[in-house]
Structure 1
């Protein structure tokens, strides 16, 4: 059964930004550098975003500002940036936790350390 993509046009545009960023910076940059260039490209394209947004605490007694989302785009998509050897299961759990906390359906995880960029798309 074929499933329709959610936020197809926006996802396509974000993916273009990610590939441009990877092509310009290469694979040995850090997350802050990637985030800065992505932010510039989002501004240039007039795409609404929030950067490094902290989630509210999820239980009584939890310390504030422990969970920070790299980008929330158009109040629809969570974008999580990584610059490490491998994307791990815990990274997927992290995005799922973020999506659940803010009641979003689509999350993107991208690892800029990979030779060939491959954004991971997660729908929950």
Structure 2
């Protein structure tokens, strides 16, 4: 399955979760609900995946974690903040670079309309 197809299913699941729960909960609640929705859709989902950092050819385990990794291809970074900052977008781009994955979604559930809280980030993705 191509990353774009996975992304579509993730965005649909996030929409379903947001409709059911609304804004205002903890990030962990949305992570659990979204994981459940994605698994119902038949997708492989890993939570809190360790992301080591390689610096000058040395692997450093510094505690970075991907919120979700879907189908071993798409990173999903979840937030529940009043407004996303540039650093939230840059964080996902850095995770893509460190992991070698090509597509990530940044989803902020603390919004009135979930479409206003979803952002797609790419790192060398081809159609």
| TM-score where L is the length of structure 2 | 0.85
Q: 1:120 corresponds to which residue?
A: 119
* Structure 1 unaligned regions, length at least 5: 1-5
Q: 1:103 corresponds to which residue?
A: 100
Which protein is richer in strand relative to its size? 2
Rounded to whole Å, the distance in 1 between the matches of 2:4 and 2:122 is 12
Moved more, 25-34 or 52-61: 52-61
- Residue of structure 2 aligned with 1:42, choices 30, 38, 43: 38
Shift of 1:46: 1.5
- Residue of structure 1 aligned with 2:50, choices 47, 50, 54: 54
Shift of 1:57: 3.1
| TM-score where L is the length of structure 1 | 0.87
* CA RMSD after TM alignment: 1.6
Superposed CA offset, 1:5-52 (max 9, x none): x63322111111000011111101110000010111122111012110
Count of residues in correspondence between the two structures: 118
- Residue of structure 2 aligned with 1:75, choices 69, 72, 75: 72
Rounded to whole Å, the distance in 1 between the matches of 2:14 and 2:86 is 21
Superposed CA offset, 1:81-121 (max 9, x none): 00000111111111011101111111100110011112100
